[in-house]
Structure 1
Amino acid sequence: MIQDTKLQISDEELFLSAAFQKHQTSLAKAATGRSRYGLQVITNWDTSEDAGVAYTDNYKIHCNAGNHITQSFPSRFLRALSISGFTGHETAHLRYSDFTSLNLYLTKLEQGIFYPEPPEINDPEYQKNLDVITEAMEEKDRAVCLTLSRCAAQINNILEDIYIEARMCEDCPGTFKQGIQMNHFRMTELIPDIHDQIAQGYQPFSIMSNLLLSYCRTGNINNRTDYSGEYMDTLMDCTEYIDEALNAPEGKARMAASNHLAVICWKYIEPLVDKMREELEKQDEEGAANDLEKILGNELTGASPLPIGKNGGIPNNLGGPSNGSAPGVDLSPKGRQELMEAAKKVFQEEGGRIELAKTTSIMDGNNPGITFENQYSGSGYEHAASNLARILTDVATGIAEEKYEQELTEELQKTADEINYGNAHAGIHVTVHRMNTVSDFLIREYSQIATPLLRASKRLQNSILPLLKDEAEGGKQKNLMFGKRLDMRVLHREDGTIFTRTRLPNDEQRLAVGLLVDESGSMDWGDRITHARKTAIVLYDFCISLGIPITIYGHSTGYDDVDLYSYAEFDSLDASDRYRLMDMSARGGNRDGAALRFVAEHLAKRPETRKLLIIISDGQPAAGGYSGTAAEADLRGIKKEFQKRGVITFAAAIGDDKENIRRIYKDGFLDITRLEDLPKNMTQLVKQYLK
């Protein structure tokens, strides 16, 4: 089932799975260390054209696994690596970006103040631009201040992206580096040619921003049609500031460079001021600024959005950025071109590495799918590939186990429907409930209370294990009262224990155990259900540890019907039954006879020679038309009927319920009130039925 499921899992199922998100979170936590306690990576799936890629609010990293960049890669492994690259990019912001200074930078620009310092321009033409901007800022022209702040923010984010990615690739040269470089290359490829941008009606500032981005990423530009107009001239005037800023250790240096670049690009920003002025007449400042950001963001190809905090603001630093330092890689134009060539190797060659995996993008008609696999053997690749294979197997295992549990529940319900429950339960419907998946809450609850109970289970195992071992290995029994062989060495004994018997090894499993727990409302009184739950945990761990088959059920009533709760099954595969026990609780009424017959029938079908059915109850059957002496007689009849079929029924009592239990079941009781006495009492019971 797991292998078949792996072939059917889509990218969306895999990348949105808890296992994949947990893996991405572990990567981010490993890179940030203790400075970002509680950091979490969350993935979503949005394939629309204007969908975002990734962002961080300083507490969580959000990655859109359906983004067009990730989905442009031909294999599942490469798409997974792309998502890791975006996780690495946002983690780099958390490690290296100075959010506090960035927030101050944008706030000051909105107030009409250059931060960290006013730009100094030598070129007369650009000096005129600076004079116009300065005059408008002194007059607190809101249209100019808001437009300039948003455009300068976009320029700064381009510079910051390149810097933090270089730092991250240097410090984390494995999965993060591979993913970042691969996305780096793909996003650059997607930037349209200058002529195409002009023909498609891009905003002049968007065209200039794409040129800046292309140069920052590659040390070159996408100019397939040999454009040589004013945009190229402006870019040449920007390169000096860009090259210096990319290698600067402090974020303030990139902010200062952004101010210079904004002044140089003013003629492309100025048309946006007029649009901003028009929008301010229609709506408030925040709405107008957001509309401008949206326009510019849609036309900027291959850039990541600014980190955002609560209410859309720049997040505050948690513990501050790491100490600023220049990247250890060469970010000169030539160095950036070499990095791009290295990035190509990550996905140029496709071959036999990853297990067969059907892709979601090639499933039309009768096409059975196609596998693309990577042969690049650079740093971190092997580990990344094995991680994806492991995660895919984990996800497939979870889906297969859930399907198996669903089929198991359906089979149990079919069995329940086929049982003849007798006249006392005529017209009563039995419903079997079983959780297909176990929540993290139940797992945490189990972990909090299990330690002393597992110690009790260990003591119980230590007392029973010698008996099971002797039975399996065989041997000679001595000092018997009766037998065919005399032990000549002990004829002098006066107590008559002078016989011996040789037992052959027994490979046959002799014992199977069932536990039935009353979950009626009255079990809530006096912590009865708590004692029942702890007994179930001890007994389950004991049986599983010693290889004894065990099934555990709870029962209650809803209206006139019987509800059975399957906590542990003989044929369960997902290893989560111990956690299902935490769902045990007091509910409605209790029609004990119907529940007892179902579990006894379930146990009677086992191949073991001895079947022990333990009932935990307060001794008060109470359901519509089922109570008092008639109900107790029904229980005794069921017990006697199944005893003939090899099912020994034994009742457990809690505190003052002993007399009720003795009256109904006759053969005594097992006191489960005190945890410290439970191993001793259970040992006596199990020994009794192993003899």
Structure 2
Amino acid sequence: MKKLNNTQKALKRMIRDTESKITDEELFLSSAFQKYQTSLAKAATGRSRYGLQVLMEWDSSENADIAYTDNYRIHCNAANSITQSFPSRFLRSQSLTGLTGHEIGHLRYSDFASLQLYLTNMENGSFYPEAPDNLPSGYKANLQDILDAMEEKDNATCLTLSRCAAQFNNILEDIYIEARMCEEYPGTFKQGIQINNLRMSELIPSIQEQIDCGYQPFSIMSNLILSYCRTGNINNRTNYSGEYTDTLSDCMDYIDDALIATQGKERLRASNYLLVLCWNYIQPMVELTRESLKKQDSTQVGDALEDLLRKESGSGSPLPTGKNGGIPKNIPGPTVKSKTPITCDLSGLDPNYRQDAINQAEKVLQEEGGRIELAKTTAVLDGNNPGITYASQYAGSGYENAANDLARILNDVATEKAQNDYEQELTEDLQKSADEIHYGNAHAGIHVTIHRINPVSDFFIKSYQTVVSPLLRTSKRLQSSILPLLKEEAEGGKQKNLLFGKRLDMRALHRKDGGIFTRTRLPDEEQKLSVGLLVDESGSMGWGDRITHARKTAIVLYDFCMSLGIPITIYGHSTDSKGVALYSYAEFDSLDDSDRYRLMDMSARNGNRDGAALRYVAEHLAKRPESQKLLIIISDGQPADCGYSGTEAEADLRGIKNEYRKRGIVIFAAAIGDDKENIRRIYQDGFLDITKLEDLPKNMTQLVKQYLK
């Protein structure tokens, strides 16, 4: 027990050390974090999108996607520059949650069917739902130019307009669905969305910087509209004043109305107005498209246009696509017990809500940047982040829970990694011990290899859960029959009617059998019993479901021993091209709580060189401090390997049994069905019949009672 406690303490130290060394890639790509993000997504979508998953990816390349959804899975790139720019791991986690929330917002609120119809009509030369009217003075000529080009079915104009329209609508749709998500989920999703918006807004170059870098005029105008949509303001550090800001002023009323409109068609109408108002900035792109169409087809030119706009744009994720590129299906959200549909009316929002959201995000960044210790990351935060005083009342529902969730996930990931490292070290130690054992002349030149599954797959866990219920009932019966024996050993008591002793029992002097002595046995706090189980996994064990029966017995014995605090080790053995293959299923010093699942790997394999396997497990058991050691072998009694079979192999096994009996290890062989005679011949008195699993409690009780003295 002392050794186990020391091992557990060492593991806890390993977990603490591992937590500080885990990288963002290890944490965010872990199954625990992906399950956490998926649980958030399912909470926001309810039963309406069964099987929706969040998949984390790691792509730090320059043009990598930030996040997208194919309508069934949400893909988030944890290495994206936005997320990695935040100074603490908690904020990076919140950023990823914001990206998840953004994609859910599209699935729940975007009108994909209308958008598809809108873009198709635009590319074919017509406005949808209708052409703009009541334009500000000075823009009617722009509309007429566009209508003339559409009437002529000018491919360059229509193709360019469709891509620019998609850009405008994506911007408006992004901000609308994020506002909806923030209103409906004012906790973790809201905070993640807000800090992402703040960072994206900061990363949009100023107007003058875009001009100096040679951005397309349309890209500059698009970025201005994006900045205004996100923050209610623009990035104008150089105090630029000119045509771009003048055009933006004319666009603001259309933008403001579109961002709070419940119907997606209103944002399509607003996009039409923005196309007309920004026509002067679109025209240069039309000419570029016209030249490109002379060399490439429409699909190639359209893709090139999208790439150009994506490269020069500060917008985030693309709109979702449906299965096989089709139209995505909207998610209605969690089911509620109400006949009145839930709607989210944004018309009552404060006109300054976008700027207020940015201010809140700045406060969180300021607080978290100073409060949470910086973790290792590949990105460095830009030092231009403004200093804002933290308002302690700002938290938002779920804020503290999110921090606790991340701490729990980090601990889970660190625990899993530390346990895997420990299991690897354990396997190496077991192999070292195997290499140091002298196996005798019968096994000269034979190499022993230790195999141990690490980590354990979900397949074995599910397989175990499928078969375990009736076996646990057998284990409980076994526990109830043996527990009184163990308690008697632990509690002590007076033994009477002994034939020999130092103390007479005056009340027993009349006895004629000589049982007149008594002895008081003191309580024994030390564990007296340890158990080893060795299972033959040769090919012949596949006949008659022997290996299945052996596996079930192993599950029962393992649960029995673990429930009563009895140390147990379980091995399987077969042969391979190198010699003896030993399969470590349960170890005395295992700490990952997965040994019960490892038992499901037990199967009929190749040959069996029983003597070498038996000696290894006996040596393993001999190192235990318990005074009584039981080693149970499950076999069909047919040693079979090159140069190892027949009477010589049986003599080797009997010799090993007698050798370790002198060292305090009692070896019993368990037989199944017709194998009883073979086992009885080889192991003689050390024999246990496990043909009927329901008789195991009775037979094991007799065995333990006989040798637990």
TM norm structure 1 = 0.92
Inter-CA distance 192–689: structure 2 relative to 1 (3 Å threshold): same
d(CA) in 1 for partners of 2:358 and 2:203?
14
1:405-444 matches, within 5 Å, as: 405-444=423-462
Letter in 2 for 1:638: I
Match of 1:153 in 2: 166
**Which stretch shows the higher mean deviation, 250-259 or 469-478?**
469-478
Q: Any gaps of 5 or more consecutive residues in structure 1?
A: 364-373
- Change in Cα spacing, 1:495 to 1:239, as seen in structure 2 (3 Å) is farther
Residue in 1 aligned with 2:239?
A: 226
Q: Give the whole-Å Cα distance in 2 for the aligned partners of 1:375 and 1:538.
A: 58
What is the CA distance between 1:375 and its match in structure 2?
A: 9.2
Instruction: State the shift of 1:549 in Å.
Output: 0.5
Percent identity at matched positions? 72
Show the counterpart of 1:367: none
1:199 aligns to what? 212
Matches of residues 74-85 of structure 1 in structure 2 within 5 Å? 74-85=87-98
What SS does the corresponding residue of 2:352 show, helix, strand or coil?
A: helix
Query: 1:394 — aligned with what?
Result: 412
Mapped partners of 1:331, 1:394: distance in 2: 41
**1:368 matched to which residue of 2?**
none
Give distance in 2, aligned partners of 1:685 and 1:105. 81
| Structure 2 counterpart of 1:10 | 23
Preserved contact between residue 87 and residue 374 of structure 2 (Cα < 8 Å): no
Which residue of structure 1 aligns with residue 547 of structure 2? 529
* Partner Cα separation in structure 1 for residue 474 and residue 572 of structure 2: 22
Structure 1 position 690, deviation (Å) = 2.1
Q: Which residue of 1 aligns with 2:103?
A: 90
Work out whether 1:466 is the aligned partner of 2:484.
yes
Q: Which residue of 1 aligns with 2:697?
A: 679
In the TM superposition, what whole-angstrom CA distance separates every residue of 1:605-654 from its partner, at most 9, and x where no partner exists?
A: 10000111111111111001001111111111101100111111111112
CA contact (8 A) 1:106 1:149 kept: yes
What displacement does 1:142 show? Answer: 3.2
Inter-CA distance 662–284: structure 2 relative to 1 (3 Å threshold): farther
Q: 2:144 aligns with which of 122, 125, 131?
A: 131
Residue 128 of structure 2: aligned partner: 115
Q: Which string of whole-angstrom CA distances, capped at 9 and with x for unpartnered residues, describes residues 345-387 of structure 1?
A: 1111357754674455589xxxxxxxxxx99651233222222
Report the equivalent of 2:707: 689
The answer (yes or no) to whether the contact 1:214–1:220 under 8 Å persists in 2 is yes
Aligned to 1:217: 230
Please say if 1:31 is aligned against 2:44.
yes
- The DSSP-based 3-state class of the residue aligned with 1:512 is strand
Distance 1:462 1:175 in 2: 50
Q: What residue is the counterpart of 1:71 in the other structure?
A: 84
Deviations 1:428-477 (A, max 9, x none): 01111112211122212222222222222122112222221222122345
1:671 maps to a residue whose letter is: D
Q: Secondary structure at the match of 1:205?
A: helix
Whether the aligned pair in 1 keeps the contact of 2:183 and 2:344 (CA below 8 Å) is no
Q: Structure 2: how far apart are the matches of 1:534 and 1:284?
A: 66
How far has the Cα of 1:67 moved from its partner? Answer: 1.0
One-letter identity of the residue aligned with 1:687 = K
Counterpart in 2 of 1:366? none
Are residues 595 and 235 of structure 1, via their aligned partners in 2, closer, same or farther at CA, if it must alter by over 3 Å?
Answer: same
Q: Is 1:341 aligned to residue 359 of structure 2?
A: yes
Query: Partner of 1:446 in structure 2?
Result: 464
Matched, 1:572 2:593: no
Q: Which amino acid aligns with 2:639?
A: P
- Residue 513 of structure 1 is matched in structure 2 by 531
Please state how far the C-alpha of 1:539 moved relative to its aligned partner.
Answer: 0.9
The 1:425/1:245 distance shift into structure 2, 3 A limit, reads same
The answer to whether the 8 A contact 1:95-1:321 is kept is: no
Q: Distance in 2 between matches of 1:329 and 1:687?
A: 80
Say whether the 8 Å CA contact 2:84–2:378 is kept in structure 1: no
The secondary structure found in structure 2 opposite 1:282 is coil
Q: Pick which of 148-157 and 207-216 moved more.
A: 148-157
Match among 661, 668, 691 for residue 650 of structure 1: 668
User: Contact 1:188–1:302 (CA<8 Å) still a contact in 2?
Assistant: no
| Aligned-partner residue type, residue 116 of structure 1 | P
Indicate yes or no: 2:66 matched with 1:53: yes
* Range with greater deviation from structure 2 (123-132 or 478-487): 478-487
Count residues in correspondence: 680
- 2:4 maps to none
Q: Could you tell me how far 1:168 is from its partner in structure 2?
A: 1.1
More displaced stretch, 319-328 vs 569-578: 319-328
1:207 alignment partner AA: I
Normalised to the residue count of structure 2, the TM-score between the two structures is: 0.90
1:504 paired with 2:522, answer: yes
Counterpart contact for 2:18–2:417, Cα < 8 Å? yes
Aligned residues of 1:434 and 1:566 also touching (Cα < 8 A): yes
Deviations 1:542-582 (A, max 9, x none): 11111110111111111351111111110111111111111
Query: Where do 1:346-357 residues align within 5 Å?
Result: 346-350=364-368, 353-354=371-372, 357=375
Tell me the equivalent position of 2:178: 165
Residues 602-681 of structure 1: matches in 2 within 5 Å? 602-667=620-685, 669-681=687-699
Q: 1:614 touches 1:650 (CA, 8 Å); kept in 2?
A: yes
Q: 1:169 to 1:131 in 2, by over 3 A?
A: same
Alignment correspondent of 2:395:
378
Q: Distance in 1 between matches of 2:370 and 2:523?
A: 51
In 1, Cα distance between the equivalents of 2:249 and 2:205?
19
What secondary structure, in the 3-state scheme, does the structure 2 residue paired with 1:214 have?
helix
Aligned to 2:5: none
Q: Distance in 2 between matches of 1:441 and 1:257?
A: 53
Query: What's the CA shift string for 1:156-188, capped at 9, x where partnerless?
Result: 111111111111112222211111111111111
Q: 1:283 to 1:449 in 2, by over 3 A?
A: farther
CA separation of 1:150 and 1:570: change in aligned 2, threshold 3 A:
same
Alpha-carbon distance in 2 for matches of 1:115, 1:493: 112
597-606 or 285-294: bigger deviation: 285-294
Structure-2 change in CA distance of 1:97 and 1:681 (3 Å): farther
Which amino acid in structure 2 is aligned with residue 378 of structure 1? A
Q: Assess, with a 3 A threshold, how the Cα gap between structure 1 residues 491 and 132 changes in structure 2: closer, same or farther.
A: farther
Q: Using a 3 Å threshold, how does the CA distance of structure 1 residues 498 and 221 change in structure 2: closer, same or farther?
A: same
Conserved in 1, the CA contact under 8 Å of 2:24 and 2:376?
no
Answer whether contact 1:567 1:580 (CA < 8 A) is retained: yes
Q: What RMSD over aligned residues (CA atoms) do the two structures have, in Å? A: 2.6
Q: Is the 8 A contact 1:615 1:649 kept in 2?
A: yes
1:387-429 CA-to-partner distances (Å, cap 9, x unmatched) read 2222221111111111111111111111101100000000001
Q: Distance in 2 between matches of 1:201 and 1:355?
A: 40
